[in-house]
């Protein structure tokens, strides 16, 4: 019983982690860059979501506040994501491959992450803030009783993933994204406005992170500036575990990390979920560096 319960919680957790992991993976797909700032966008949108939901009435109008707040937080996160890309990554593009500038995108990514986290610390202070309880009650599925929030989260995540899969596979934007991922120069020569596609990728990834963060906080967690570090790291591990650059991989990785974390809580192991997550990460990189579903590429000589 406890195992089944943990499985469901783990799946819900994992679904949210997957939503954030998608952002890492999509940006890596088009830019071959680990967007370290992504986890901070997640944290920022948790704060924005909290303020918006409170502003829209909180528990008095749960539906309006929940849905409206979430959507607006997604828009805000998309804007932040595009801003981050514009400031920290775009100026560095097309600089060639000289060894002196090769690590610069990594440095700006790290810098952006540190900047956003401390900005949040300054603006919102380090104290915990709780979300209003919008999703209360529980549904009973046979012998199980599952919290409404869990059900909402799982359903949302599944819908989002299906929609995302359709976007990537069926729409022009998805095609452009994949073309960019395969060969940026060729994509540009084919008339794709690469800057716009990259911007849109950041926007999409960030808004998914916002969705994940609002759901995450509604479910269980208070908001604080180091939330990005805590949850973002897990999402990052999930993305690498599934194979960074692979969208299905990110979903799989997220679910695995979520379930693993919950199952670990059943044991007497008390090192938290982060130590095992990092160990898994390192082992995966060593055994199968492309991740579970990723594919390796060879350099052309």
Partner 1 sequence: MELVLEHVCKSFGGLKAVTDVSFKVPHKAIYGLIGPNGAGKTTVFNLITGVYKHDTGRIVFNGHDLRPLRPAQIARAGVARTFQNIRLFSQLTVLENLLVACELQKKASLFSSILRLGAHHEDERSMKKRAEELLEVFSLRDVADEPSTSLPYGNQRRLEICRAMMLEPKLLLLDEPAAGMNYGEAEGLKDQIRWLRDTFALTVVLVEHNMQVVMGVCEEIHVLDHGETIAEGSPEKVQADPKVIAAYLGEEPEEEAAG
Partner 2 sequence: MAEARTVEPSPSHEPWRARLRDLAVVAVVLVLAFVVDQTLDRVIPDSSVRQLLMLAACNVLVALSLNVINGMAGQFSIGHAGFVAIGAYASAITSSRLHERFGAGDPTFAHSFLVVPTSLLVSALCAGLAGLFVGLPSLRLKGDYLAIVTLGFAEIVRLTIGTAQISADETAGHAWSEVHGLGSFFHAISVSIAGLGGQNGYAGPHEKGVPAYAGPFWILGLTFILGVVAWRLKFSGWGRALRALREDEIAAAAVGVDPTRYKVTSFVISSVGAGIAGGLIAMMRDGNPTVQPESYNFQSSFDAITMVILGGSGSVTGAALGGVFVTFSVKLIELVQGTNAVQSLKRSAEWLDLNALRMIVYAAVLIALMVLRPEGLLGERELTLRTIRGWLRARQERRDRKAEDKP
Residues near partner 1 (CB under 8 A): 98-100, 298, 301
189 binds, among partner 1, partner 2, none (CB under 5 to 8 A by kind): none
Number of residues that bind partner 2 (CB under 8 A): 51
Contact range with partner 2 by CB under 8 A, out of 15-23, 50-58, 184-192, 280-288: 280-288
The residue among 98 and 267 lying less far from partner 1, judged by its C-beta, is 98
Radius of gyration for the chain, computed over Cα atoms and rounded to the nearest angstrom: 19
Least CB distance from residue 100 to partner 1, whole Å? Answer: 7
The residue among 189 and 301 lying less far from partner 1, judged by its C-beta, is 301
Residue 80 burial by Cβ neighbours in a 10 Å radius (0-12, 13-18, 19+): buried
Q: How far is CA 172 from the centre of its chain?
A: 23
Q: Does 286 bind partner 2 (CB under 8 A)?
A: yes
Least CB distance from residue 230 to partner 2, whole Å? Answer: 11
Distance CA 264, CA 261 (A): 5
268 binds, among partner 1, partner 2, none (CB under 5 to 8 A by kind): partner 2
Contact range with partner 2 by CB under 8 A, out of 12-20, 65-73, 166-174, 271-279: 271-279
How many CB atoms within 10 Å of residue 38? Answer: 33
Q: Does 5 bind partner 2 (CB under 8 A)?
A: no
Figure out which of the listed residues 25, 108, 149, 199 binds partner 2, where binding follows CB under 8 A. 108
Figure out which of the listed residues 4, 139, 182, 279 binds partner 2, where binding follows CB under 8 A. 279
* H/E stretch holding 8: helix 2-31
Least CB distance from residue 95 to partner 2, whole Å? Answer: 7
The residue among 131 and 236 lying less far from partner 2, judged by its C-beta, is 236
CA angle 63-67-70, nearest 5°?
140
Return the closest-CA partner of residue 77 out of 202, 206, 200, 226. 206
| DSSP code of residue 60 | G
DSSP 71-134: HHHHHHHHHHHHHHIIIIIGGGTT----HHHHTHHHHHHHHHHHHHHHHHHHHH-SS-BPPP--
**Cβ pair 277, 234 in contact under 8 A:** yes
Q: Does 121 bind partner 2 (CB under 8 A)?
A: yes
**Cβ pair 181, 6 in contact under 8 A:** no
Return the closest-CA partner of residue 273 out of 17, 36, 4, 28. 17
| Chain contacts with partner 2 (rule: CB under 8 A) | 32, 34, 87-88, 91-92, 95, 99-104, 106-108, 110-112, 114-115, 117-119, 121-123, 125-126, 229, 233, 236-237, 240, 267-272, 274-275, 278-279, 281-282, 285-286, 289, 299, 301
């Amino acid at each position: 019983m406890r195992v089944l319960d943990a499985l469901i919680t783990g799946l819900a957790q994992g679904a949210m982690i997957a939503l954030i992991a998608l952002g890492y993976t999509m940006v890596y797909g088009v830019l071959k860059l680990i967007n370290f700032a992504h986890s901070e966008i997640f944290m920022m949108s948790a704060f924005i979501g909290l303020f918006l939901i409170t502003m829209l009435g909180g528990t008095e109008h749960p539906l309006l506040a929940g849905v409206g707040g979430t959507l607006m937080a997604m828009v805000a996160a998309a804007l932040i994501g595009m801003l981050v890309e514009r400031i920290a990554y775009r100026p560095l593009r097309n600089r060639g491959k000289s060894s002196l500038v090769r690590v610069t995108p990594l440095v700006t990514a790290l810098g952006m992450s540190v900047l956003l986290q401390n900005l949040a610390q300054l603006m919102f202070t380090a104290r915990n803030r709780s979300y209003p309880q919008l999703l209360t009650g529980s549904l009973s599925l046979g012998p199980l009783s599952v919290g409404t929030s869990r059900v909402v989260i799982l359903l949302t995540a599944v819908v989002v993933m299906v929609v995302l899969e359709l976007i990537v596979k069926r729409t022009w934007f998805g095609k452009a994204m994949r073309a960019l991922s395969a060969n940026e120069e060729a994509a540009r020569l084919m008339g794709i406005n690469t800057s716009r596609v990259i911007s849109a990728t950041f926007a999409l990834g960030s808004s998914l992170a916002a969705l994940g963060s609002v759901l995450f906080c509604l479910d269980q967690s208070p908001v604080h500036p180091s939330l990005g570090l805590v949850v973002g790291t897990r999402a990052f591990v999930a993305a690498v575990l599934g194979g960074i650059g692979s969208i299905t991989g990110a979903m799989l990785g997220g679910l695995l990390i979520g379930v693993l974390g919950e199952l670990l809580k059943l044991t007497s192991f008390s090192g938290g979920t982060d130590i095992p997550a990092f160990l898994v990460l390192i082992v995966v990189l060593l055994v199968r560096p492309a991740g579970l579903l990723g594919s390796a590429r060879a350099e052309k000589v």
